[in-house]
Amino acid sequence: MESLRESHIHHRVGRSLIFFPLPFQGHINPMLQLANILYSRGFSIIIIHIHFNSPNPQNYPHFTFYSIPDGLEHDVSTADIIYFVKLLNIECVEPFRDGLSRLLLDFKEEPISCIITDAVWHFTQVVADSIKLPRIVLRTSDISSFHVFAAFPLLREKGYFRAKDSKLEESIIEIPPLKVKDLPDVKTQDPEDLHRYVAKLMDESKASSGLIWNSFEELEQDSLTRLCQHFPIPIFTLGPFHKYLPASSSSLLTQDQSCISWLDAQAPNSVLYVSFGSLAAITKNEFLEIAWGLASSNQPFLWVVRPGLVQSSGCLEPLPNGFLEMVGERGYIVKWAPQQEVLAHPATGGFWTHNGWNSTLEGICEGVPMICQPSFGDQKVIARYVSDVWKIGIHLDYTLGRGKIERTIKRLMAEAEGQRIRETIMSLQEKAKLCVRQGGSSYRSLASLVDYILSFKT
């Protein structure tokens, strides 16, 4: 992969920016991409990070990395993500404050203009305020699901969170086309923690100096208009970030490049790429249904089976007996893939995804139609938008029988319905391509972000 060359870099502006990524793959990738974009606009970049899931500085020799302690016990699990994030937002306050104060003293020559932190690091607003440093928030998901989180108090008041099974198919009239079953739930030991966390994220985002989105105007026009009404702070839609510059890897796991040679030997648009991102976990039974559904679909597939994909087994789940014999050369399995390259490969014709926002955006950028199998949180809202609003995928609707899987794969990969979806996503792909070019909506938004940051007193 090509690295960031001098030719990509505008003149230096003599200012530094501090980034503070949340230590999860789907949050690290867009934040480091954004850091690269702003580096190319002349800013010096400092990345504050904790030990857990820390990025590899060797892939970013042009950045300064600054490590702070996270105060976490070694064996703390991320299985309860809300609890984990709550802990981080408590334990990191002092180390972050200390680190920031030190950096402000050290970077006198290229003064620090502001911090750019993940929205989930809500505690950073209070710290930034206390030292009078502007904080800009990066929300690494889509705008539409942000509205759903913003509506939590209302949805709660209306009783949607208590809805019984018989009501799950009903529409949420306040937020079409969402159904009750699409509400972003996250399993956690104390459900109140989820509501408290969402309220904090919203309040501290509103209190910030601006909000950045890895999305683009043409994709989320209505949601963006609504956002501007409810969040009267500067808002920047600069996405898709990964299309500005040659990629630098921020992968926490080693990407198995061997699948690219396997793809090279496959027919155009014939391969279904199957990946559920870095966190989603399925049951053992779902794993078996997926395996047999893939086997009986007769479609070539590339499947990411990462350690921990199957719930409560931290390691690699064994494939069922007879599976490999049945699929032979038609299937290829890796622990972790170079996803953007896979999606961009001409042989890839479909993407069975959990609809994490990065995966969804990467799929759109390469014009690959989707099968939607969201797992938790924002993924459920994104999946509903993919299938019902943008019409670029088929929703599995939360049931995973092998017969249904086989049928859905055929609908997407071999039938007229799949062809229509392909045409729709290819026209979105075109819009995604244009918006980051000179004069495009994201390109202009980036220019106004740069001007805005340069307007901060240092």
Instruction: Write out the residues near ligand UDP by the rule CB under 6 A.
Output: 24-26, 29, 251, 255, 275, 277-280, 304, 336-337, 339-340, 356-359, 362
**CB of 288: closest distance to ligand UDP in angstroms?**
21
The four Cα atoms 244, 232, 193, 252 give a dihedral, to 10 degrees, of: 10
Q: State which residue has the least CB distance to ligand UDP.
A: 26
Contact 342, 260 (CB under 8 A): yes
**CB of 239: closest distance to ligand UDP in angstroms?**
12
The four Cα atoms 97, 252, 24, 271 give a dihedral, to 10 degrees, of: 160
Which helix H or strand E contains 395, and what residues bound it? strand 393-395
Structure-token pair, residue 205: 């985002």
**CB of 337: closest distance to ligand UDP in angstroms?**
4
**Nearer Cβ to ligand UDP, position 277 or 349?**
277
**CB of 131: closest distance to ligand UDP in angstroms?**
31
Q: How many CA atoms lie within 13 A of 21 on its CB side?
A: 28
- Specify the residue for token string 């995604």: 432
Structure-token pair, residue 32: 């480091």
Which helix H or strand E contains 117, and what residues bound it? strand 112-118
Let me know how many helices (H) and strands (E) the chain has, helices first: 17, 13
User: What separation in angstroms does the CA of 57 have from each of 25, 49, 111, 116, 252?
Assistant: 15, 11, 22, 18, 12
**CB of 422: closest distance to ligand UDP in angstroms?**
20
- Among left, alpha and beta (phi > 0; psi -120 to 50; other), residue 58 is alpha
**CB of 261: closest distance to ligand UDP in angstroms?**
16
**Nearer Cβ to ligand UDP, position 17 or 279?**
279
**CB of 252: closest distance to ligand UDP in angstroms?**
9
Structure-token pair, residue 268: 């155009």
**CB of 301: closest distance to ligand UDP in angstroms?**
14
The four Cα atoms 299, 305, 311, 314 give a dihedral, to 10 degrees, of: 170
End-to-end CA distance of the chain: give it in Å, rounded.
Answer: 36
**Alpha carbon distance 48, 434 (integer Å):** 33
DSSP letter assigned to residue 380: H
**Nearer Cβ to ligand UDP, position 218 or 341?**
341
**CB of 312: closest distance to ligand UDP in angstroms?**
18
Contact 241, 33 (CB under 8 A): yes
> What's phi and psi for 91, nearest 5 deg?
-70, -25
**Alpha carbon distance 449, 440 (integer Å):** 14
- Specify the residue for token string 């923690």: 193
Residue 331 bridge partners (DSSP): 301
**Alpha carbon distance 8, 249 (integer Å):** 17
Instruction: Find, among 34, 393, 383, the residue nearest to 214 by Cα.
Output: 34
**CB of 340: closest distance to ligand UDP in angstroms?**
6
Quote the Cα angle for 410-416-419, to 5°. 90
**CB of 326: closest distance to ligand UDP in angstroms?**
23
**Nearer Cβ to ligand UDP, position 374 or 440?**
374
